[in-house]
Amino acid sequence: MSEILKAGPPSYGHWRAVVQAAALVAGFVAALALTCAAPVSAQTLKLVALGDSLTAGYGLPPGKAFPNQLEAALKARGFDVKVVNAGVSGDTADDGLARYDWAVPPDADALIVELGANDMLRGLEPKQTKKTLATILDRAKTAHLPTLLTGVLAAPNLGAEYDKAFDAIYPALAQQYGAVLYPFFLDGAAGDPKLNQPDGLHPNAAGVAVIVGRILPTVEDLLKRANRS
């Protein structure tokens, strides 16, 4: 003790060094605490698009199919999302149901169901199409998978009675199963030669861009549901 007293009081430089060292230690401890307490960053959302040729991208160049353009548009809006193309050209609703278990993986965060156009083009019984789509929606609901159902409008040459029965499928199912409804998938592109391929049935790349622009706010609502689930 006497030696310490003989040495005199600590210099200003000594105290300054001590204070700086203590501040560095405190800062390190605080940063470590924040790191440990911070929530793990959200993983990329997986959005599966289960559909037919309109989803698959029939006749389109690589990267221009609906899932590709939708993913790009969502990312531009700030969503961390991967849109999986589970479309198969020519699929009816029954075909989509038959491959549901492997096309929609357990780690999917949200689902778009784009099916029924081929049922309509083949003049299949609306009751059967509705029953099949109901089974798909029921599986998604059981899995607590937020789902967007995109509608199909029947061609006028099939007759008023068929049109009425078929067009009613999608609003009824969306209400029954609590799915998000987009009334007409081809909205904005149907019937416009500039936005369709020569067959008049499938949109070209520009047509898909129009479809994506129209449906984008609805898909954003779907992904917000996925984030809350």
Please identify which of the residues 89, 91, 199, 221 carries the catalytic annotation. 199
199 catalytic, yes or no? yes
Look at residue 204 and give its three-state secondary structure.
coil
Please report, as a single letter, which amino acid is at residue 217.
Answer: P
Please identify which of the residues 52, 53, 91, 119 carries the catalytic annotation. 53
Contact between residue 137 and residue 178 where contact means Cβ atoms under 8 Å apart = no
Look at residue 202 and give its three-state secondary structure.
coil
How many residues are there in the chain? 229
53 catalytic, yes or no? yes
Q: How many angstroms separate the CA atoms of 97 and 87, rounded?
A: 12
Please identify which of the residues 52, 91, 109, 202 carries the catalytic annotation. 202
25-38 burial, b at 16+ Cβ within 10 Å, e below that, comes to eeeeeeeeeeeeee
What does 19-56 look like in DSSP terms, one character per residue? HHHHHHHHHHHHHHHHHHHSPPPPPPEEEEEEESHHHH
Phi-psi region of 187 (alpha: psi -120 to 50; beta: other; left: phi over 0): beta
What residues act catalytically?
Answer: 53, 199, 202
